[in-house]
Amino acid sequence: MAITELLYRTGGCKLDYNRISSLILDESENMVYISDMESYELVYMNRALMEKFDIDRKRIGDKCYKVLQGLEAPCPFCTNECLKKDGYHVWKHYNPILKQHYELKDKLIEIDGRNMRLEISVDITESEAEHMELERQLSVEETLVECIHTLSEHTEIDTAIEKLLQIIGDFYQAERAYIFEIDYDARYVSNSYEWRRDGVTPQIDNLQDLPICTVDIWLETFKARGVFYFDSLRDFAEEGSEDYELLASQGIEKLMAAPFWKDGVLIGFIGVDNPSCGTGQIKLLQSVPYFIENDITKRHMLDNFRKLSYRDTLTGLGNRNLYIETIEKLQDTELDSLGVVFVDINSLKASNDRYGHQYGDCIIQNVATGLAGIFPENAYRVGGDEFVCLFIDGERSEFDSRLMQLRRFEQEDCMCDFSMGVNYREGNVDVKEQIGYSDNMMYVEKQVYYGNGVEGKNSYHEVLAKKLVEEIASGEFKVYLQPKVNIDTGELYGAEALVRRRTEDGEVLMPGQFIPLYEAEGVIQQLDLYVFEEVCRLLDSWKEKGYRMIPIAVNFSRISLMGIDIIESLARIRGRYGVAPGLLTIEVTESISRMGAETLGQLMERFKEHGFAFSLDDYGTRYSNLSLLARLDFKELKIDQSLIKDIMTNWRSRIVLEHTIQMCRELGIITAVAEGIETEEQRELLRSYHCDIGQGYLFSEPIPIGEFLDKYGRDYLY
């Protein structure tokens, strides 16, 4: 039998619903309801309650917590456990649906053998508001004292102001509290501090270096009214105006703010977004600027001292102090990539001796201007004629582009020649080690400059190209091979040719330590052709000795592939050694897409006509240009090790990896090669995804050709 159909017993008499209604004062102004304590179903609501909630008796039988509190589960503050038959449990509660305060009187009653909850609600909103307002007036002074104490307690000015904003935000129950400062010299205004409640989107990064006109409406309002509060954004700015849209886009509906004045000049303001209480106590916000202004003035003084200690007075670049501090911070930061450029002015002392130090200063300033324009984020003067530029977490293609800009600057706009040491690395960045490499490369280039008696910067390219040819001829560059393995069977599938440079003292340099310079100067083709010919010579010797023949991939810079006669040169070399086309693959990175799809497609078609196949390297690092696979004919897709390294712990990487391999299978002609395999667990997972080929330290690191023959001169299973 449904509860709504129960006949209730009171004093031994059966009463119908209407009789119950009259007995519990259906005409009372107070809200009354009865609910089943076990099922939470409403069995009775008086007229006052139904009118207040704008419902009717059809809601009888619904859950009390849903109808009266708007919840989907029993109220966490439910007082059922506190109810007794011999007295009322009295408590206070704010109803979120009605947005009013109530004194509630609850009692346990028994109807037809079932425990019921009887609740009578008395509206105390007005008296509660008066009480809260009195408490809030008393707390304004307490909060102001807390603000003053916070500013005096913390020695770090930024920490003190951020804590103060939190106090202000909590007092007004706001979403954000913030400070803007005006720089009249630079003609901009910036959001210098921000506190926000959890879940509120930060805005501070979007509100830097704004033109002063952006806050014209604020400045006009401050001059007219001083501190202000608007409970509707429409009262502050005309709906549809640029000011209105800027604030509305930040989710601002209500707004209060107070200005900072110094010597009669407006220097900034403190603002509070969407305050939900205490807006009548604007006195607090009005009082705070007086104390904050003093701290901001002190911070500006400290900032000026700091700038002086970190800036080179002649050039305006960061000085050695800032450079060292930056390097120390980077050492403790996990970087995705780092590009380093060392620059040393050639023959500065001779210029000083010949034309005077004022002319020498002009040369230094000229170089500094060029560096600041190309590397505005991190350019430093670290010595009399030495500069360092850092390119942090940026794209390799962008770094290469900036290097070309730097060379153009030297050739066209610079007052002098300078030597450069360049290095770029992605992943496992060791900042100090990389800087050391760049410094050494700069020293080598300087030796080339002086060793060849170069006096004009226009001959630099020819000098570097000539030196590279000499270094290749002297055997400084060696070809290493890294095996590719059939993941399923463990059989040797092929190899990738990689170049290493061995210095006079026996140190082996990785490609990232010398390739960037050759690419920037456009002489990289010499090295690429050398590696290609060495591979052809190797395959020819294997054929003569009856060794097992395996395909070998050779890396090519896109600069080399854009050479006018590159295809003919490669075909001529291959023909000279009688190497079958299927044994050679040209390996390129995704950055080749920067050539443009149409140009690249035509180029690859010409290569294909001469029997050359392409492998797309480093897939999944930066660009992941799917259109390359959709429009161009690649033989291999090499999945970058950055996707492989965390596949055992990162489910997202596994999904991307599995679908990439599946995509290769469905394309049919593309072989999937997984790079950077280091563990058997990774191999087994890749095997389960039906990945074709693997490459990585699990099988072998890149090794010299002789060692490769010793190890893989016979069929070898992993």
In order, the DSSP letters of 87-107 are S-EEEEEEETTTTEEEEEEEE
Q: Which of 113, 37, 117, 61 is nearest to 85 (CA)?
A: 117
Query: Using one digit for the tens of pLDDT, what is the confidence trace for 220-248?
Result: 999 888 899 988 888 888 888 888 988 98
- From 280, 308, 336, the end of a domain falls on 308
* Mean pLDDT, rounded, for 296-318: 74
| Spatial separation of the C-alpha atoms in residues 450 and 294, rounded to whole Å | 57
| Spatial separation of the C-alpha atoms in residues 369 and 316, rounded to whole Å | 9
Per-residue pLDDT for 119 more than 90?
A: yes
The answer to whether residues 167 and 258 belong to one domain is yes
The answer to whether residues 69 and 184 belong to one domain is no
pLDDT classification of 186: cutoffs 50, 70, 90: confident
In a domain, 538, yes or no: yes
The answer to whether residues 303 and 234 belong to one domain is yes
The answer to whether residues 9 and 102 belong to one domain is yes
- From 252, 287, 308, the end of a domain falls on 308
Proportion of the chain in helix, strand, coil states, percent, rounded to 5 = 45, 25, 30
Query: In Å, what is the CA distance from 60 to each residue of 55, 80, 121, 176?
Result: 10, 19, 18, 43
pLDDT at position 448 is: 47
| Spatial separation of the C-alpha atoms in residues 495 and 485, rounded to whole Å | 8
| Spatial separation of the C-alpha atoms in residues 80 and 59, rounded to whole Å | 21
Give how many domains the chain has, as a whole number: 4
The answer to whether residues 536 and 574 belong to one domain is yes
The answer to whether residues 118 and 173 belong to one domain is no
Per-residue pLDDT for 576 more than 60?
A: yes
In a domain, 478, yes or no: no
pLDDT at position 13 is: 40
| 240 Rama class: left (phi>0) / alpha (psi -120 to 50) / beta | left
* Mean pLDDT, rounded, for 243-263: 89
CATH number at residue 562: 3.20.20.450
**What values do phi and psi take at 165, rounded to 5?**
-60, -35
In a domain, 146, yes or no: yes
Query: Residue 164 forms beta bridges with which residues?
Result: none
In a domain, 513, yes or no: no
Per-residue pLDDT for 663 more than 70?
A: yes
| High-pLDDT (> 70) share of the chain, % | 83
Please enumerate in sequence order all residues whose Cβ is within 8 A of that of 262, keeping only pairs 6 or more positions apart, or say none.
293, 297
Q: Note whether 473 and 534 are within 8 A (CB).
A: no
Among 125-134, 269-278, 419-428, 457-466, which stretch is predicted with the lowest mean pLDDT? 457-466
* Mean pLDDT, rounded, for 390-415: 89
Per-residue pLDDT for 555 more than 90?
A: yes
What is the distance of C-alpha 184 from the center of its chain? 32
pLDDT classification of 599: cutoffs 50, 70, 90: low
Query: Using one digit for the tens of pLDDT, what is the confidence trace for 469-493?
Result: 888 888 889 999 999 999 998 899 9
pLDDT at position 300 is: 65
**What values do phi and psi take at 260, rounded to 5?**
-105, 125
| Spatial separation of the C-alpha atoms in residues 107 and 83, rounded to whole Å | 5
Q: Is 18 exposed, middle or buried (0-12, 13-18, 19+ CB in 10 A)?
A: exposed
The answer to whether residues 235 and 156 belong to one domain is yes
| Spatial separation of the C-alpha atoms in residues 18 and 28, rounded to whole Å | 15
In 548-667, beta strands by DSSP E: 552-555, 584-589, 613-619, 636-639
In a domain, 264, yes or no: yes
Instruction: Specify the higher pLDDT residue, 211 or 2.
Output: 211
| High-pLDDT (> 90) share of the chain, % | 37
pLDDT at position 718 is: 41
What is the distance of C-alpha 99 from the center of its chain? 41
pLDDT classification of 538: cutoffs 50, 70, 90: very high
The answer to whether residues 98 and 157 belong to one domain is no
The answer to whether residues 139 and 108 belong to one domain is no
pLDDT classification of 572: cutoffs 50, 70, 90: very high
Q: Which of 679, 639, 631, 681 is nearest to 659 (CA)?
A: 639
CATH number at residue 108: 3.30.450.20
pLDDT at position 593 is: 63
Q: Which of 682, 613, 598 is nearest to 647 (CA)?
A: 682
Q: Note whether 306 and 298 are within 8 A (CB).
A: no
* Mean pLDDT, rounded, for 18-43: 80
pLDDT at position 302 is: 61
Neighbours of 653 (CB within 10 A): 17
The answer to whether residues 190 and 217 belong to one domain is yes
- Which tokens go with 227? 């501190």
Instruction: Specify the higher pLDDT residue, 23 or 616.
Output: 616
Query: Using one digit for the tens of pLDDT, what is the confidence trace for 511-532?
Result: 888 887 777 666 788 899 999 9
Q: Note whether 108 and 83 are within 8 A (CB).
A: yes
The answer to whether residues 297 and 208 belong to one domain is yes
Strand-by-strand arrangement of the 210-211 sheet: 210-211, 188-196, 176-183, 265-273, 255-262, 228-230
Neighbours of 585 (CB within 10 A): 21
CATH number at residue 235: 3.30.450.40
CA angle, 55 then 65 then 277, to 5°: 90
In a domain, 565, yes or no: yes
For residue 372, give its domain range.
320-455
The answer to whether residues 191 and 275 belong to one domain is yes
CATH number at residue 339: 3.30.70.270
* Arithmetic mean of pLDDT over the chain: 83
pLDDT at position 376 is: 93
Among 171-175, 254-258, 408-412, 465-469, which stretch is predicted with the lowest mean pLDDT? 465-469
DSSP 633: -
In a domain, 717, yes or no: no
Reduced to 3 states (helix: H, G, I; strand: E, B; else coil), residue 365 is helix
pLDDT classification of 78: cutoffs 50, 70, 90: very high
320-331 and 283-310 helices, crossing angle to 10°: 110
Helix (H) / strand (E) element for 42: namely strand 42-45
Its pTM stands at 0.42
Q: Note whether 104 and 119 are within 8 A (CB).
A: yes
Provide the residue type at 44 as one letter: Y
- Which tokens go with 554? 């050779």
In a domain, 517, yes or no: no
Query: Using one digit for the tens of pLDDT, what is the confidence trace for 352-397?
Result: 887 788 888 989 999 999 999 999 999 999 988 999 999 999 998 8
- From 308, 343, 359, the end of a domain falls on 308
| Spatial separation of the C-alpha atoms in residues 535 and 552, rounded to whole Å | 8
